[in-house]
Structure 1
Amino acid sequence: MVSRPTPSYIILGAQKAGTTSLYHYINEHPWVIKARRRETHCLDWRWDEKIKTKSKQLEYCQRFFFTDHVKNRVSCQTGDSSPSYLLDSRRVIPRLKRVFDWKMKFFVMMRDPVRRATSHYSMVTSTDGTPAQQKTRGLEWRNKSLWDVVQMEMKKMNECSLIPYWNIEDGIIDQDCFDQFFGSQQEDEAWNRYLERYVPLNTGSYGLLTRGMYAVQLRPWFRSFDRDQFMFLRLESMKSKNGVPNAMERVFSHLDLPYHPICDESAKNSREYESTDTKIHDYLQRFFEPHNRGLASVIQTKSEEWIDPWPYQVV
């Protein structure tokens, strides 16, 4: 028996899709040791550019965990939940492959992208929380309506040639154009331009729409890691009857841990927000609907759960 590496798993995202709850559920297992902080961000926000050698980079990143405790407990493991990682693949993947050069497990939580976007906007523009929390969320969307932010984000994507199939003004999709563009080299190039230009490290006020475009976010990860390292979960499934125990049975199996019942199934870090205006809601559903339909082919599953993960009545 040898100790497991630190960390053994990472919850990559998506933000506002139940990652906090998943992290807490995993840490209810007696063989899991919490990190020193829930979101380490050691590979993006807190990455230290001054450190150049691989060994020192590893030493720095492992300071965010109780690494010595894990080494002395060969049955135990620890992990990270930094939901910005999924989107910020351009920065995170090379660092992860260099510093954590073992085969770890990944989790990706997904949620109806319309509801995810609304929740994201509500969190960022909320005036509650500590000054430090408000600073981290950013001020860029303050005094802007949800519609203002949607249009602003659409223009950024359009500038990068990421949505040639979408008529921003009318909210209409060219399905033939989408089918040709989805998964193409042109989409990859546009996606890289978007990540380089519009994924900052000093604010949480970005990616309102792209964080819900799960298929294009996942492709860089699949090019860099084996598919069997990933597990995908839908927040909506976890909210259904017996959803948490059913999901956690699969989660613990993915981590090579024996099943352990969850004592506290309550949602963590959730918030109430106002219902979305019908015009905005319909606009966003039309935009996300083809992305949702294409997700199953990207994660290579025939499970009914993912064939039409968020059925919309598109008008």
Structure 2
Amino acid sequence: MSTFRKIAEDFALMGKRLLERAEKTWRLATSPLRELPNVVIIGTQKGGTTSLYHYLCQHPRIGGALSKELHYFNLEYKKHRLWYRSNFDLQGNRISLEATPDYIFDENTLWRMSRLIPEAKLIAVLRDPVSRAYSQYNHVQRGMGNWGADPRSFEEAVQADIRFARENRVIGRSEYEDIFHSYVRRGIYAPQIRRFKKVYGDQLLVLRSEDLFSDPNGFVNSIFEWLGIEQRDLQITQKYGRGNYKKEVPMRKELEDFFEPHNRKLYELLGVKEWWSY
């Protein structure tokens, strides 16, 4: 690389950092004038939330956050609420949207959200818990969050999380095991949904991930209708968050047997027929 080109690239990088710093300062200065989110996608991890977030943001009446996952109500709550506001649009006629799929699973998020955004609408998309568990495991194996891979086999990791659920708790607490190794517990949906439903009632919309995967346009337009905004055709040119791994799940039958009674509790809670065929 020539000296001139190196200097030019260094100046370009410096300029980019200065612009980013200036935008951050401006956003913080104007944060009292910014929206809090009207809609939050709360979960589930590996349930298609990234695709759903980007599809919803195609609507001109919806404005996404500065980044999809802010983690304010679980990992960043020590920051001032003005920091949280700084991530959204200036107040106007648009719906502000955030999506942090860890919210549904974290013990502290519900009461924190109910204090700051009690009028918000919440969306939870739930995936077949067996496929979801294997997807999370492979996500961790790819170095999720730069923490490194899980040294255990999928079978060992799953058995360990089942023991943890039986001997300790299901709902997470933003601890290491909860964030990275909750392969099974995140798929025990009923207690997670029940607690949010108790506080938010009809403001909580619970949908099935497989319907998003099979018909994204119809799925997202049903949400537009729920939000009271006009429907529109999506531009689906990219699929987000898809892992490159073998989709045949080890221990599928054992996991299906484990999840079956938990799924029945979810169906009863939501008043729906069987979502997954086991």
TM-score, normalising length: structure 1:
0.72
Q: Distance in 2 between matches of 1:297 and 1:148?
A: 31
2:229 pairs with one of 257, 262, 280: 257
Aligned to 1:231: 205
Moved over 3 A (4+): 201-204, 275-278
Taking the aligned partners of 1:257 and 1:155, their CA distance within structure 2 comes to: 45
- Verify the 8 A CA contact 2:35 2:85 in the aligned structure 1: no
SS at match of 1:225: helix
Match of 2:99 in 1: 81
Q: Hey, what's the Cα distance between the residues in 2 that align with 1:63 and 1:4?
A: 7
Q: Confirm whether residue 310 of structure 1 aligns to residue 261 of structure 2.
A: no
Instruction: Provide Cα deviations, 1:256-290, integer angstroms capped at 9, x if missing partner.
Output: 21112111164211112224455x11110100112
For 1:212, which of 187, 191, 196 is the aligned residue? 187
Residue 14 of structure 2: aligned partner? none
- The sequence identity of aligned pairs, in percent, is 26
Aligned residue in 2 for 1:177: none
Matched residue, 2:43: 13
Please tell me whether residue 149 in structure 1 is matched to residue 157 in structure 2. Answer: yes
CA displacement at 1:234 relative to structure 2: 1.3
* 1:1-315 correspondence runs (5 A): 5-48=35-78, 57-66=80-89, 68=90, 71=91, 73-74=92-93, 76-88=94-106, 90-101=107-118, 103-127=119-143, 134-135=145-146, 138-139=147-148, 142-160=150-168, 191=170, 195-196=172-173, 199-200=174-175, 204-226=179-201, 228-240=202-214, 243-264=215-236, 266-276=238-248, 278=250, 280-299=251-270, 301=271, 306-312=272-278
Counterpart secondary structure, 1:121: helix
Instruction: Count the aligned residue pairs.
Output: 246
SS at match of 2:180: coil
RMSD of aligned Cα (Å): 2.2
Q: What is the distance in 2 between the residues matched to 1:220 and 1:34?
A: 26
- Give the TM-score of the pair, scaled to structure 2: 0.81
Instruction: Give SS of 2:105's match.
Output: coil
Does the 8 Å CA contact 1:25/1:265 hold for their aligned counterparts? no
* Change over 3 Å in CA distance of 1:277–1:234 after alignment to 2: closer
SS state at 1:307 partner:
coil
Long gaps (5+) in structure 2? 1-32
